[in-house]
Structure 1
């Protein structure tokens, strides 16, 4: 079994675990479980499902996903929609909206993100992480300071809990990214081509025809 197949099976297993009604009820009972557990896990399932894609499909998708920008934009738009309070309420009120959430988050957020992450390059990934930290901090502050309920299906105490959690996550991510930037060497090793016989432990034999004998 290849690594991609194992990854795809893990994503499929995660979807099977998240899909039963009792699991959905458990995670969606609180705003924190809905927004900070269920939605990220659905995205993770899509990232893992990318392992099922054959190389030919990846090459065809890459032709329309130069530098990972198209896939990243699709993933961000999908995530932005499902992070809206109204979208969370709609998923709780409508079975069709719930089904749409389980389809779009893995296929339109997780899968494009998996296919776009490497083409983004180191600088592009750094920008994405920085924007994520900023958005989490702003969203957490808004949830804490909002004078009314932003989700009609959840209490003010729930959104305050989510706000505090988002601020903590933003802080931890900022610390982790800072430590990684200073402690991890991101330079690629420089490989140079050696001439045949050039100081590699094996000396190039001299051509007898060009050896010069010195007679004393």
Structure 2
């Protein structure tokens, strides 16, 4: 098959894409955490395709369930999942699935995490307790994970080791400080997870 002159979304096909013997390895990762921690922003910022988002407007019915104290400007919430894709290397494509944060949607986590190599657990230092369910879930399921602290503008900046101690995260689990609005920071977090997952894989 002749790939000469082919383009994908307006971009020239790379040399490695023309080699049918080097099909990229695709793998799945999950982004989890509490309500309003930045999961949708994380997926949106890094995805090289138009991300699939299942955002719905928040209503008065959710006021007693969803605490908006730390995110007063939030008007939508994920009700199923976010989905995006990023090519980290010529032979590595990540499919990124963001989980819904509210407890009433946790029943979907088993399906979303099936087949994943690892997870990014996002945390907000203003409400660290919100990420405990995700930490417990991945500890119990033995799925490799990292903790990504989403540093919101105007909030105190804590050292990674201080967050580790506050969350009682094991020493072998990476903890990174990041800004989900910055593509490079999100990419670095994903690379950290992939490296950690590979290190944790059975020999």
Shorter-chain TM range is: under 0.3
Where relative contact order (Cα < 8 A, 6+ residues apart) is larger, the structure is 2
**TM-score w.r.t. structure 2 length?**
0.24
User: Larger Cα Rg: Structure 1 or Structure 2?
Assistant: 1
Report which of the two has the higher share of strand.
2
**TM-score w.r.t. structure 1 length?**
0.23
